[in-house]
Chains A and B, each alone.
Chain A
Amino acid sequence: MFRRRRAAPAVDPPASALTPVDADASSLTRLEASTDLAHVVDSSAELAEFDSGELPTPAATRDDEALIRAAQSGDLDAFNLLVMRHERPVFNVALRLLRDVGLAEDATQDAFIRAWQNIGSFQSGSVRSWLYKIATNRSYDMLRASSRRPAGSLEAEMVEIEPIWSAGGAGEESPDAHALRRELSIYLERALTSLPDDQRMVVMLVDVQGLDYHEVAETMGIALGTVKSRLSRARAKVRQTLADDVAARELFERYLRSNDETGDRDAPPTTQATEPDDA
């Protein structure tokens, strides 16, 4: 069901280390069927060349910009390319907010329809943030409408659809750590559920979906400092939740050890953080 990328076009955004799934693979293969989009891709390729070396903007952002400009002039195919690129992460955000596959699908579809209807309202910034904002608003609307809090556990819902596991957070990962990570995911999902809405949203967008602080601030309409402080508290709370559960704590300790053993290269910070800081 998940097609691998055949060839990487010049404008293909590099897969982020934080987004484990190759979200663009299917959209790119589908893109080849569409002839109308040649000019879009071409123009974005030119754009990419033009911008290279000026700003450290990710290639994906430039591509999104080109696509949304085309969509704003009425090109539905360009918009559908955006949909294909972002539908999976948007769906995952909705899913983790709503904890219901059917509702999450409805919210995702509604979000894209609204985005298309209000395509003119996009001015500038991150397309991804804009889409997430519409999707999260829609998800919260649906939560309110169904007057149902996301109390259910994700794993009950998730038997319906297939999880896609990333290769590993920061590169190499021992098989042991990988297995532990999968075991721990249940506890992590529970911990996310127990977070307050605002904290869950931040940690979900930053850590689970891989947005940067600015995009999250844009998505949620909050200040950058608020994003950081909420993220700190959310992570601390998740860690505390893991520590409070006996089984989870034991797994977590083993995971810590495996991280410690497999290298300071992989995990911490010290060696990585010595690199010059872009931000």
Chain B
Amino acid sequence: MRRPRRKQRNQMMPEHQPEMATDHLDIDAVNAFIDRDLPPDILALFELHLSNCPACHREVLEVHSTVLLLRGLPQYAPRRQFTLGQEHARAGRRRPQAAAASAVSSLPLSPLPAAAAVLPPKAPRGSNWLPGLQVAAMVAGVLLLLISVGDLARFAGRSPELQLAAPTAAAGLEQEVAEAPAAMPAPADDSSLAAFQSSDETRAAPVEIASDAAAPARKAAAVETDGTNALGGASDGVQEGDSPEQVNAEVATSLPGAAAITQVIPTLDDAANSASGTTSTSTTAPSSSGTPPSRLRIVQLGLAVILAWLLVSIVGLRWVRRLR
């Protein structure tokens, strides 16, 4: 399959006929001829040459056969389709925003509204429980807070030794409650929870020093011991800051409902007082003697357990939802 002698490229267009007749065709011209890419006038010359030159005829035949073979190569059927699913309908149009939002939400300290905005419009299975759980957690938290604070405020008003214990124990509990909503991303539309949270913070402010010392109470069992621990730090912290009377007054005035709730539970302010006393005696206060835990304390414990369980559920649901 020898290649015929070839004219210099771009001179396949013979100016004079004699040269065309004697010389062979350029490879580009052959390809142009096969692809029908030759202008008519040149085509005429080309064909004239072909009819007189077996070598060029042979070359055209070979190149043309090669082209036919290439065109005849099989196509392969892919094993699947490549159409895009409906998830691309949304993603394709709003991709930049979505990408930015998901980048934000992947940060550990993402702002709550951004995290809420990323949630897919169609909630995954199970997450329809989320609002209910949040409301339940809020209610449990408020109850627990009111009971504890009201309880402590009442007896703090009576027994001077325990004046310090009241705000600090409350601070321990408040911290737990205030911290819990922070741990779980609060929905943007849940204004009541936000309000609750912010009012909590203002209340807790006077005893911030004390609450720093208190380990966050995550387990129900830890509530009492935390309160006790907080007490130790609190006796210093609060004394440095506000006067005990001031703190007491603030707690008492800011929580009008707390007293009412403790009344609702028809016990035993005395027993409650003594129980609180028991927990605090270990560090500061001279004790009233070891009395059994009151019903109020049990209610508090129960509420704390429920609250912890709700919080764990909410955080778990959020986490699962974010994974999708």
Q: Are B84 and A161 in contact (CB under 8 A)?
A: no
User: How far in angstroms is the closest Cβ of chain B from A240?
Assistant: 8
Q: Are A21 and B75 in contact (CB under 8 A)?
A: yes
Q: Are B88 and A163 in contact (CB under 8 A)?
A: no
CB 8 Å contact bits of B61-89 with A (1 = contact, 0 = none): 11111111111111111111111101011
Q: Are B43 and A255 in contact (CB under 8 A)?
A: no
Task: In the complex, identify which listed stretch (B26-34, B102-110, B187-195) lies at the interface while the others stay far away.
Answer: B26-34
Q: Are A80 and B75 in contact (CB under 8 A)?
A: no
CB 8 Å contact bits of A176-187 with B (1 = contact, 0 = none): 000001001100
Q: Does A13 sit at the interface, judged by CB under 8 A?
A: no
Q: Are A267 and B69 in contact (CB under 8 A)?
A: no
Q: Are B71 and A166 in contact (CB under 8 A)?
A: yes
Contact status of A228 and B36, CB under 8 A, knowing A76-B86, A80-B84, A239-B66: no
List, in ascending order, chain A residues with CB within 8 A of B51's CB: 270
Q: Does B60 sit at the interface, judged by CB under 8 A?
A: yes
Q: Are B61 and A76 in contact (CB under 8 A)?
A: no
**How many angstroms between the C-alpha atoms of A160 and B78 in the bound complex?**
10
Interface of A is mostly: helix
Q: Are A119 and B92 in contact (CB under 8 A)?
A: yes
Q: Are B60 and A88 in contact (CB under 8 A)?
A: no
List, in ascending order, chain B residues with CB within 8 A of A278's CB: 36
Say which residue of B3, B60, B79 sits within 8 Å of A101 (CB atoms): B79
**How many angstroms between the C-alpha atoms of A269 and B61 in the bound complex?**
8
User: How far in angstroms is the closest Cβ of chain A from B50?
Assistant: 6
Q: Are B28 and A207 in contact (CB under 8 A)?
A: no
Q: Does A57 sit at the interface, judged by CB under 8 A?
A: no
**How many angstroms between the C-alpha atoms of A105 and B34 in the bound complex?**
34
Q: Does A15 sit at the interface, judged by CB under 8 A?
A: no
Task: In the complex, identify which listed stretch (A43-51, A108-116, A139-147) lies at the interface while the others stay far away.
Answer: A108-116
**How many angstroms between the C-alpha atoms of A158 and B79 in the bound complex?**
12
Q: Does B242 sit at the interface, judged by CB under 8 A?
A: no
Interface residues of B in 36-66 (CB under 8 A from A): 36-40, 43, 46-47, 50-51, 60-66
**How many angstroms between the C-alpha atoms of A228 and B47 in the bound complex?**
20
List, in ascending order, chain A residues with CB within 8 A of B84's CB: 76, 79-80, 83, 112-113, 116
Q: Are A238 and B66 in contact (CB under 8 A)?
A: yes
List, in ascending order, chain B residues with CB within 8 A of A153's CB: none
Q: Does B93 sit at the interface, judged by CB under 8 A?
A: yes
Q: Does B1 sit at the interface, judged by CB under 8 A?
A: yes
Contact status of A259 and B61, CB under 8 A, knowing A116-B92, A169-B71, A270-B47: yes
**How many angstroms between the C-alpha atoms of A83 and B201 in the bound complex?**
57
Residue of B27, B50, B72 most packed against chain A (CB within 10 A): B72
Q: Are A188 and B76 in contact (CB under 8 A)?
A: no
Q: Does B95 sit at the interface, judged by CB under 8 A?
A: yes
List, in ascending order, chain A residues with CB within 8 A of B60's CB: 268-269
Q: Does A164 sit at the interface, judged by CB under 8 A?
A: yes
User: How far in angstroms is the closest Cβ of chain A from B27?
Assistant: 5
Q: Does A242 sit at the interface, judged by CB under 8 A?
A: yes
Q: Does A20 sit at the interface, judged by CB under 8 A?
A: yes
Q: Are A256 and B62 in contact (CB under 8 A)?
A: yes
Q: Does A10 sit at the interface, judged by CB under 8 A?
A: no
Contact status of A163 and B82, CB under 8 A, knowing A188-B69, A267-B65, A268-B61: no
CB 8 Å contact bits of A225-243 with B (1 = contact, 0 = none): 0001101110110111011
Q: Are B31 and A228 in contact (CB under 8 A)?
A: yes
Say which residue of B37, B71, B77, B78 sits within 8 Å of A210 (CB atoms): B71
Q: Are A276 and B40 in contact (CB under 8 A)?
A: yes
Q: Are B66 and A235 in contact (CB under 8 A)?
A: yes
Q: Are B28 and A181 in contact (CB under 8 A)?
A: no
List, in ascending order, chain B residues with CB within 8 A of A207's CB: 67, 70-71
Q: Are B78 and A87 in contact (CB under 8 A)?
A: yes
CB 8 Å contact bits of B3-33 with A (1 = contact, 0 = none): 1000000000000000000000001101111
Say which residue of B1, B39, B74 sits within 8 Å of A277 (CB atoms): B39
**How many angstroms between the C-alpha atoms of A249 and B65 in the bound complex?**
12
Interface residues of A in 95-137 (CB under 8 A from B): 95, 101, 104-105, 108-109, 112-113, 116-117, 119
A-B contact pairs, 24 of them (CB 8 A): A74-B89, A76-B88, A79-B84, A101-B79, A104-B78, A105-B78, A109-B82, A116-B92, A164-B76, A185-B73, A188-B69, A213-B37, A232-B31, A235-B31, A236-B63, A239-B62, A239-B66, A242-B1, A269-B60, A269-B64, A270-B50, A277-B38, A277-B39, A279-B36
10 residue pairs, one from A and one from B, having the closest CB atoms: A163-B74, A243-B1, A207-B70, A169-B68, A80-B83, A232-B31, A91-B78, A76-B89, A21-B75, A169-B71
